[in-house]
Amino acid sequence: MRRRVVVTGLGAVTPLGNDVPTFWENLLTGRSGIGPITQFDPSDLEVRIAAEVKDFDPVALFGRREARRNDRFTLFALEATRQAVEDAGLSLGDGTLREDVGVLIGTGIGGALTFLHNYDILKERGPRRVSPFMIPMMMPNAAAAAIGIRYGLRGPNICLSSACATGSHALGEAAEMIRRGDAEVMITGGSEAVIHPISIAAFKNMGALSTRNEEPERACRPFDAERDGFVLGEGAGIVILESLEHALARGARIYCELVGYGASADAFHITAPEEEGEGAALAMRRALNDAGLSPEAVDYINAHGTSTPLNDRIETRAIRAVFGDHADRLAVSSTKSMVGHLMGAAGAVEAIACVKSLETGWVHPTINYEHPDPECDLDYVPNEARRVEPRVALSNSFGFGGHNGCLIFRRWEETA
């Protein structure tokens, strides 16, 4: 029998709130975290909206020195980790080095803001003014390293990057580490902070972003017939995973069990999903097989649901291919309708939404769903939260490069 893996702690920094209770409450009320860009003057850009993290003061949280020596994505991860460790009731960071606790934090891009800031300094003030902290701040593994150092963790410490599937892959691979005995506890998730003129311009020029500048709260509309692209977001989601034995031995509160993980590749195109959704369907089937569950056992799907014309249509097609007639009985919703696309953090934040659905019995809505699309014909929980009482939830993440990652969570039942 393989080791069972349970969720015991959650932490989040998001455009809808900088802690899990606020994030979840705003999700259920259908509030949008998307608005005009405030981090810089976007007036020269064709897209001037994003899903920014608000009221995040790194100096107040970490002190001036640490705030200056870490990229924004690392600071997000550190704060979300602090919340998750506290939520789990773990005793870490007391000077005791722990070899049984590991870290796996993913990011799609890493410390891009640090790189771009120092490139500007190089051009304007010369090479001697480039920060000596630039490399350790910008490297993608900076967040994982910072967490391990802060809490004295000598278990596996790894960074993973697979575009928009990163967060789900991070949780799935962390669970595998626990299953094979590499660690008893894994601090895992994703973090991203890439709201910058160059990333906005690049995503816009490839045709990926919504251009609804005049109505930002209505810009992200997954599965709606008038969707025109995703909205770039930022934030972090951190989940504490434990072996069931370790959690029970210390009397931990258990949210739910992570029972299935599936990964695949489209092997098709660097940005576009494969037209029939075969790679996405394969990842869902692998997650179901890993969990030992039939498609009919799933009650809720947290969709990748980006609000791009291609993704939403193809994800719908993939869900129908896997679930058949049962697809019509599934509740399906998109967290991105409210928080935008958090890139490497998306899968982790959306996993937290699944965990909260299993805990509370509520499923959050897909907001801005106003115009049905004949090719997107599932129950997307339009515009209002719903009491579903799900027992099993599936979370989908599909990324550029054709990377696919799916997670299955099951309500915690001691006798299961």
For position 300, which CATH number holds? 3.40.47.10
Cα–Cα dist 389/387, whole Å: 6
- Residue 69 pLDDT grade (very low, low, confident, very high; cuts 50, 70, 90): very high
Residue 55 has pLDDT above 60, yes or no: yes
State residue 181's pLDDT score. 97
415 in any annotated domain: no
Examine the fold and report which residue of 249, 274, 298 is the final residue of a domain before the chain moves on: 249
State residue 93's pLDDT score. 87
* Shared domain check, 223 and 329: no
Mean pLDDT of 355-373: 98
| Percentage, residues of the chain above pLDDT 70 | 99
255 in any annotated domain: no
Cα–Cα dist 14/167, whole Å: 14
Catalytic residue among 117, 159, 164, 403: 164
Examine the fold and report which residue of 249, 281, 307 is the final residue of a domain before the chain moves on: 249
Report the DSSP beta bridge partners of residue 164: 162
416 in any annotated domain: no
The boundaries of the domain holding residue 218 are 5-249
Residue 360 has pLDDT above 60, yes or no: yes
Catalytic residue among 341, 364, 403, 406: 341
Residue 326 annotated among the catalytic residues of the structure: no
In total, how many domains does the chain have? Answer: 2
Residue 341 annotated among the catalytic residues of the structure: yes
Give residue-wise pLDDT tens across range 257-298.
Answer: 999 999 999 999 999 999 999 999 999 999 999 999 999 999
Q: Where are the alpha helices (DSSP H) in 139-277?
A: 142-151, 166-179, 197-205, 244-249
- Residue 1 pLDDT grade (very low, low, confident, very high; cuts 50, 70, 90): confident
Give residue-wise pLDDT tens across range 117-138.
Answer: 999 999 999 999 999 999 999 9
Residue 235 has pLDDT above 60, yes or no: yes
Examine the fold and report which residue of 215, 249, 283 is the final residue of a domain before the chain moves on: 249
Three-class SS state of 58: helix
21 in any annotated domain: yes
* Shared domain check, 271 and 151: no
268 in any annotated domain: yes
Strands 35-36 and 300-302: unpaired
* Shared domain check, 129 and 220: yes
Kindly report whether the global pTM for this prediction surpasses the value 0.85.
yes
State residue 95's pLDDT score. 86
Averaged pLDDT of the chain: 97
Residue 256 annotated among the catalytic residues of the structure: no
* Shared domain check, 207 and 329: no
Give residue-wise pLDDT tens across range 315-331.
Answer: 999 999 999 999 999 99
Catalytic residue among 117, 196, 304, 364: 304
* Shared domain check, 49 and 138: yes
86 in any annotated domain: yes
Closest CA to 302 of 351, 348, 255: 351
State residue 94's pLDDT score. 87
State residue 414's pLDDT score. 66
- Copy the structure tokens of residue 163: 């575009």
